[in-house]
Each structure stands twice: as C-alpha cells, then as structure tokens.
Amino acid sequence: MSENQSTPKTAPVVGIIMGSQSDLKVMEAASEVLEMLQVPYELTIVSAHRTPHRMFEYAEGARKRGIKIIIAGAGGAAHLPGMVASLTTLPVIGVPVKSSNSIDGWDSVLSILQMPGGIPVATVALNGAQNAGILAAQILGTTDAVVADRLEKYRSTLKDKVMRSAEELRRGDRDID
C-alpha cells in the first residue's frame, strides 16, 4: 500500500493520505517537514468516497505495517480523516483542504473538527499540512529522543529567524522576509 516512501530502506512510521491528486499541493507540506526532520513516511491517495475498500484496507493495515500516525487531508465533505479514525486506534491528524468544490473551506474544517465522542481527529488549520507534519513529529518525539532533538533544533531556527527579522526592522531594513 505504500506507493511513495521518503526513504526506501527505512519503514515509514507516518502515513500521509489524501482524498485526491488535487490535494497533493497542500499535503506536500507535511512530507517536506517530515523529510527535514528525517521521519520516514509514505504518501498516497485514498478516497473515502471513490475507493472505500482501499480506505478500509489502508486504515486497518496501517499498524501492522509499522505506521504510528496517519495524516489525512481532504476537501469538500472531508470524510477521509474521520472514517480512517473510526477504523484504527492510531492517532489521526486531519488536514482540511480548501478545494474547488469547497464552501470556502468551512465544510472541510467542520467535517473534520466535529467528530463524535470516542473517535477523535486532531485537526489543524485549513491547508495546514505543515503543522500536521510537525504535530506528527511531536507525537513521535514523546518516545523518540532523536526526533525530539531534531524538533528542538527546528524550533531554534524559527526563533533565530524572528530575531534576525526584528534586528533588521530595528535597523530600518524594511525588505525582510
């Protein structure tokens, strides 16, 4: 089931799935973060509506394949994260995607956010796949000191960037990123 893995020699521990190819532009941000943090992942398309049997197979087999966290992105009705969460006890992080058939993204946000009791989905911001990747790494970092250390270093780079920008602004350099 793992069509696109970050590192062929390392078994993926995070599954990144999306409802359609059009979600890839958003979901790539999660894979970029995981690559930067050297967390092995797999990336594939699993549609809750068009390929429900594939969704069942993916969710029910993920733990046996070594997946520890699933990041699921979907737009429109956005049933994928919740349905996957109903089929596994692995943590599922939902990424609402603002799609062409979306009601300004709100349908996706609410569909993923408003899960019934007993079937949680951690939900990030609309198109927030970067934060989904970071959250997945943070969860892994609770039991993996190497990942936790990489996250600390990443956070330091964020702090350094803000401090550089503040200094540039103080000096009057308005062309800051």
Q: Which CATH class is domain 4-144?
A: alpha beta
- C-alpha dist (Å) from residue 156 to 30, 105, 139, 152: 19, 32, 19, 6
Confidence label for 172 from pLDDT (cuts 50, 70 and 90) = confident
- How far apart are alpha carbons 92 and 120 in whole angstroms? 8
Binding residues for substrate: 20, 23, 50
> Of 166, 136, 165, which is closest to residue 37 (Cα–Cα)?
136
Confidence label for 6 from pLDDT (cuts 50, 70 and 90) = very low
Total residue count of the chain as it appears in this document: 177
Tens-place pLDDT, residues 77-129: 899 999 999 999 999 999 999 988 888 899 999 999 999 999 999 999 999 99
Residue 175: pLDDT above 70? no
φ and ψ of 72, to 5 deg: -125, 120
Residue 177: pLDDT above 70? no
The overall pTM is greater than 0.85 = yes
pLDDT score of 47: 95
Binding residues: 20, 23, 50
Residue 2: pLDDT above 50? no
